Amino acid sequence: MGIPNILSIAGTDPTGGAGIQADLKSFAAHGGYGMCVVTALVAQNTLGVRAIHAPPVDFLRAQLDAVSDDVTIHAVKTGMLGTVEIIETVSQWWDAAFEHSPAPTLVVDPVMVATSGDRLLNEDAESSLIEFLNRADLVTPNVPELAILSGAEPTSSSSELIWQAERVADAHQIVVLAKGGHMSGSRVADSLVFPTSGGQRPETYTVATPRIETTSTHGTGCSVSAAFATLRARGLSWHGGLDSVKDWMQRALEGADQLDVGRGNGPINHFP
Ligand SMILES: Nc1ncnc2c1ncn2[C@@H]1O[C@H](COP(=O)(O)OP(=O)(O)OP(=O)(O)O)[C@@H](O)[C@H]1O
Ligand SMILES: Cc1ncc(COP(=O)(O)O)c(N)n1
């Protein structure tokens, strides 16, 4: 295969650091052809979210159909889904579009709360998002998101974090990337946790990198899940994918000081 077609289904960030804008840059940085369907227009910047405007779900469905009726999709990454209605619309589209053809790789970034602390998923939509995970290959929660998905409390213990990820992996038969950005310590560890199959669980794979002292972390989560979707579509293994993503993220965080974007949590440099 040549360059794979990767679709982001997510919300917008007009300052370009998170959401769909970050996804498209991350797809390009990892060798994918980027496409996007907008779930919500978000008036936000590096300081926070001001307002959210979601298109009618019929129009969301029209965007999704316009892509899948015409283009072979090799991987999908979902980000901000926002409401029960949006999740149901994306689920119905997915089930119809891939009923008679193999489904593409699906990476779900369970976007719930922005770095700024603003909610991006309604609380009453959490159970719909959990149900949506049954369609996924990979889910990429941060510490508080993993707690919600596993029905536990946010943890500062790495063994508890892995246990929570194992619960989610087994409940949905998916791979979990438990991200350690919100943990303390001089290194940031991300772990790939696999579901039990045939009574056995493949060994957890962890990559830890030195923690970079920076406030430019806006959109790191979006960018990591978009990178993984692209690398899996390009045929990389799970382990190879995590090695590549962590190496790139380290350089993207270090390279953020070449940018001058906003007065809050700035974006990473997608092309370091
Ligand atoms: N200070 C840091 N130094 C090095 N790597 C980091 C740092 N902060 C986050 N990362 C990496 O960035 C990615 C995102 O991690 P994090 O746990 O912060 O997710 P997130 O909360 O979803 O991100 P976001 O800030 O976009 O909400 C992970 O791959 C993590 O290892
Ligand atoms: C549309 C959209 N999607 C996701 C995020 C989360 O990114 P972050 O947690 O880095 O603010 C965001 N701020 N906006």
Respond yes or no on whether ipTM tops 0.95.
Answer: yes
pLDDT on residue 212: 97
Q: How many residues would you count in the chain?
A: 272
Give the mean pLDDT of 78-85.
98
pLDDT on residue 150: 97
Residue 266 lies in a domain: no
Residue 268 lies in a domain: no
The predicted-structure confidence for 232-255, as pLDDT tens digits, reads as follows: 999 999 999 999 999 999 999 999
**In sequence order, which residues have a C-beta less than 8 Å from that of residue 199 and are 6 or more positions away?**
none
Residue 265 lies in a domain: no
pLDDT on residue 114: 86
The predicted-structure confidence for 151-165, as pLDDT tens digits, reads as follows: 999 999 999 999 999
The predicted-structure confidence for 55-71, as pLDDT tens digits, reads as follows: 999 999 999 999 999 99
**203 alpha carbon – ligand 2 mean position (Å):** 31
Residue 254 lies in a domain: yes
Catalytic annotation, pick one of 39, 46, 83, 220: 220
pLDDT on residue 93: 98
Number of domains forming the structure of the chain? 1
Catalytic annotation, pick one of 36, 79, 83, 179: 179
- The C-alpha torsion from 199 through 170 and 193 to 130, rounded to 10°, is 170
Q: Which two tokens stand for residue 216?
A: 């430019």
**20 alpha carbon – ligand 2 mean position (Å):** 9
Residue 264 lies in a domain: no
The CA radius of gyration of the chain, in Å to the nearest whole number, is: 17
| Active-site annotation holds for 185 | no
CATH number of the structural domain spanning residue 122: 3.40.1190.20
Share of the chain above pLDDT 90, in %: 97
Residue 263 lies in a domain: no
Residue 193, classified by CB atoms within 10 Å of its CB into exposed (0-12), middle (13-18) or buried (19+), is buried
State the residue range of the domain holding 218: 5-258
Residue 271 lies in a domain: no
pLDDT on residue 116: 81
pLDDT on residue 118: 87
Does pTM top 0.80 for this prediction? Answer: yes
Residue 117 lies in a domain: yes
